[in-house]
Structure 1
Amino acid sequence: MRIILLGAPGAGKGTQADSIKAKYPVAHISTGDMLRSNIKEGTELGRNAEVYMDAGKLVPDDVIIAMMERRLMEDDAKEGFMLDGFPRTIAQAKALDEILDKMKLKLDAVVDLVIEDDAVVGRLTSRRVCRQCGEIYNTVMKPSSKEGVCDKCGGDVVQRDDDKEDVIRKRLSVFHEQTAPLIDYYGKQGILVPVDATGEKDAVLKVLEQKKANA
């Protein structure tokens, strides 16, 4: 299984990926994790990326693409992969096509997790995170036993700055600008699969298995 997960911040890409990984031995490759790994390992690509990140700039496409090509050749991706946060642009999508052509591989599907902006805002503004251990809570679905105190370590449970409504709506605006061309690009290839992101946690898995059975 080789897929791309498209979805707004808060659409539940991580939750859906966990459901798929529980059944299939595929690599969940997120751009953020990939960047952090290269920086931690001190690779040349990681050092290049860190220069831009430290300056508050976006990491250039050529650096991200080179990291992705290297990552897709690692052992855990041989049985399949889920890409999360890549591609973000048409240029990255075309570069990915070239990488997969060289590897003689094809994408099985590009999953578009569909969710209204207001639903995303509701999800993310209710999220809280422990400042000490990183445990995640939700004021509606999973509050800590004592408000503001982590059940796991006793640390402070806070709302992150990027989970505030004005910031979320700016992130959503950027996401829509970037993603609309990708939806059209993969739609023309016939591999775009829209999935309701407000559904159950294994919604994507069920859709992909049904698609596979009908192939």
Structure 2
Amino acid sequence: MNQLRSLNIEHVSPVGLLRQEISRRTPFGLTAERLAQQGKPLAEDSTLALMRRWFWTRKPDAGFALSGFPATLLQAKVFDEWLDARDESLHGLIAADQSSEAVVDHYRALGLTVVETSALAA
């Protein structure tokens, strides 16, 4: 991830954004913290709201690398809509072993180059 910073590419993940919300003691962060203490995951709509806020406040065409998002087919389709609205596109997908097969298949169907991390290790 240090290499990303040297290329001026922001690394973003829902977990990282959530940690920021919790450390800032925002209402969103406090709710998420309560859920975590109860062992409950963040609802998909909350994850989308968190990522939406990041996406729409960043500079247009600023480089980024995402981890853990989109994690579901719904999140991928919503993210595609955000990209379309800003006339932006993805340049590639590196799929970790735990990546959703539906998300990987979705981006393959769109013609995006998908590199699987298991292939990188070989």
TM-score by length of 2: 0.81
Query: Is structure 2 residue 105 aligned with structure 1 residue 184?
Result: yes
Contact 2:92 2:112 in 1 (8 A): yes
Q: Percent identity?
A: 28
Number of aligned residue pairs: 120
Q: Is residue 50 of structure 2 the alignment partner of residue 50 of structure 1?
A: no
Partner of 2:121: 198
Contact residue 27 and residue 76 of structure 1 kept, 8 A: no
Contact residue 104 and residue 114 of structure 2 kept, 8 A: no
* Structure 2 gaps, min length 5: none
SS at match of 2:100: helix
Q: Does 1:40 find its partner at 2:15? A: no
Report the CA distance shift for 1:56/1:96 in structure 2 as closer, same or farther (over 3 A): same
Counterparts of 2:45 and 2:9 in 1: how far apart (Å)? 25
Relative to the length of structure 1, the TM-score reads 0.49
Q: Which moved more, 1:179-188 or 1:99-108?
A: 99-108
Given residue 5 of structure 2, which amino acid in structure 1 is its aligned partner? K
Deviation string for 1:101-135 (max 9, x for gaps)?
23332212112256xxxxxxxxxxxxxxxxxxxxx
Contact map agreement 1:52 1:59 (CA 8 A) in 2: yes
The answer to whether the Cα contact below 8 Å between 1:26 and 1:77 also exists between their aligned partners in 2 is no
Contact 1:48 1:63 (8 Å CA) reproduced: no
Please identify which structure carries the higher strand content.
1
User: How big is the shift at 1:77?
Assistant: 7.3
Among residues 106, 113, 118, which one is paired with 2:89 in the alignment?
106
When the two chains are superposed, the root-mean-square deviation of aligned CA atoms in Å is 2.3
> Are the counterparts in 2 of residues 109 and 192 from structure 1 also a CA contact under 8 Å?
yes
Pick closer, same or farther for the CA change 1:75–1:95 going to 2, 3 Å.
closer
Query: Which whole-Å CA distance do the structure 2 matches of 1:193 and 1:27 have between them?
Result: 20
Larger radius of gyration: 1
CA distance in 2, matches of 1:26, 1:68: 17
Task: Give the Cα–Cα distance (whole angstroms) in 1 for the partners of residues 34 and 49 of structure 2.
Answer: 16
1:68 aligns to what SS in structure 2?
Answer: helix
Q: Which residue of 2 aligns with 1:30?
A: 13
